[in-house]
Structure 1
Amino acid sequence: MPNQRLRDSLLRNGFDLNAVAKATGVDPKTVERWINQNRTPYPRHRRAIAAMVRESESYLWPDALAPDAKKEITKSEVVQVYPHRHSVPQELWSHLIAQARMNISVLVYSGIFLTDDPTLIKTLRAKAEAGVKIRLLLGDPASREVARRSEEEGIGRGTLAAKVRNAHAFFKPLADTDHAEIRCHRTTLYNSIYRFDDEMLVNTHVHGFMAAHAPVLHLRRLSGGDLFETYAESFQGVWDDAKPPKW
């Protein structure tokens, strides 16, 4: 069975057999076997290919690493744990946005705290013009999931929906000028995800607490780790099922 993840990653980044062969120092026929016969490359070759296509080894070759090795790498993906979202330094948010070169992806219901930065729209527009892909997943304000979360947080059934509508209005100028793709979701949100290239802030959700008072994981992607990849795949799953907003 072919390695479809490897094939897709190479095609998406414009690499052919010869480019991979040159980067890894092997024959193109060997590269072809890695793809078409799902042969597993040596670790040094896996690292080189993962760096080329900006994917993790665990994504391209899920069974390549022994469980103990994968466990140790995954632990190292955790940069910092913050007890509450409001304890994450504002400078960290600004740094992560500023250093993003390829991808800014956000999964929230409202993320209304982001609108406290009056320069955010201007900054995101500039990032998009520089080639950064910006994807924003906002909640559907009419969904039962948003209403239920609002009740669970103890802020009243319609309060969160109002915040979501405010977030839609705030980010709409980005969509109007094609500087971001925005979709609405009806997901039961277990975590809010903020991805900036190979770094991520994951705001866990705790029953009975507002998101600002729940813990945040700061993750940095490592080639053989599973933790970052788990949340990245979760984001993609919600994105695939989401719909464009009805402005």
Structure 2
Amino acid sequence: MPNQRLRDALLRNTLGFDEVAKATGVDPKTVERWITQDRTPYPRHRHAIAAMVRETETYLWPDAVAPEKKKEINESEVVQVYAHRHAVPQDIWGHLIEQSKISISILVYAGMFLVDNPALIKTLRQKAENGVRIRLLLGDPASREVARRSEEEGIGKTTLGAKIRNALAIYKPLAEVPGVEIRLHGTTLYNSIYRFDDEMLVNTHVHGFMAAHAPVLHLRRLSGGDLFETYAESFQGVWDGAKPPKW
């Protein structure tokens, strides 16, 4: 079977066989076989291609890395574990936003703590103007999932929906900024995800606790690992099914 993931990654980055062949030092026919016949390149070639298309080896070649090596890489992707979201230092959030050069992706229900920073909207606007892709995924305030989560947190059925509407009002000035996309989702949110290029903060959700009191994983993407990739794919799945708000 063809390697569709590799094919799509090259297409997204407008890379042809000749360019990949030149970067890896092989014949263009070899590159073609990597795609059409799903041949697995040598590790040095996988590293080079993964870097070119900004994907992990695990995503492009799921079976290429031995289980024991993958386990080691996955453990190394964990930078820090915080017992509670409120324990994450504020300068970590600021640093991750400021250093982002390619994309910022946020998946929450409301995420009101983010907009407590009065400079956030201005910072995101500047990032977008500098070519950073901004994707903001908030909960649909009218969805059953948001109402259920609100009740589970013990704050009343409509409170979380009201928080989301407040967040939307704050983010609205970004709606017309090129490079910024805002969507609403109606999924059961198992984790809030905050991705900044190849780093990510994952706020796990715990039944009966507000997100601020639940643990956070600080992850850094490594080639060959799939812990970071798991959450990245989860974000994409929610994004694909979400819709823009009706302002």
Smaller-chain TM-score bracket: over 0.9
Distance in 2 (CA, whole Å) between partners of 1:14 and 1:242 is: 27
Distance in 2 (CA, whole Å) between partners of 1:61 and 1:217 is: 25
Distance in 2 (CA, whole Å) between partners of 1:210 and 1:60 is: 36
Q: How far has the Cα of 1:179 moved from its partner?
A: 4.3
Q: Match of 1:61?
A: 61
Q: Does 1:91 align with 2:91?
A: yes
Q: Match of 1:212?
A: 212
Distance in 2 (CA, whole Å) between partners of 1:176 and 1:11 is: 28
Distance in 1 (CA, whole Å) between partners of 2:84 and 2:3 is: 40
* Partner secondary structure for residue 136 of structure 1: strand
Aligned length: 247
Q: Match of 1:21?
A: 21
Q: Is contact 2:132-2:179 (8 Å) kept?
A: no
Amino acid at match of 2:159: T
Q: Deviations over 1:204-243 (max 9, x none)?
A: 0000000000000000000100100000000000000001
Q: Match of 1:165?
A: 165
Amino acid at match of 1:236: Q
Q: Deviations over 1:46-98 (max 9, x none)?
A: 00100111100000000111111111101100000000000101100000000
Unpaired runs of 5+ in structure 2? none
Q: Match of 1:238?
A: 238
Distance in 2 (CA, whole Å) between partners of 1:53 and 1:107 is: 23
Distance in 2 (CA, whole Å) between partners of 1:219 and 1:97 is: 15
Distance in 1 (CA, whole Å) between partners of 2:177 and 2:224 is: 38
Relative to the length of structure 2, the TM-score reads 0.99
Q: Is contact 2:131-2:179 (8 Å) kept?
A: no
What is the aligned-residue identity percentage?
A: 79
Q: Deviations over 1:2-36 (max 9, x none)?
A: 11111111111121111111111111111110011
Q: Match of 2:106?
A: 106
Q: Is contact 2:128-2:177 (8 Å) kept?
A: no
Task: Provide runs of 4+ in structure 1 moved above 4 Å.
Answer: none
Relative to the length of structure 1, the TM-score reads 0.99
Unpaired runs of 5+ in structure 1? none
Q: How far has the Cα of 1:178 moved from its partner?
A: 3.3
* Partner secondary structure for residue 112 of structure 1: coil
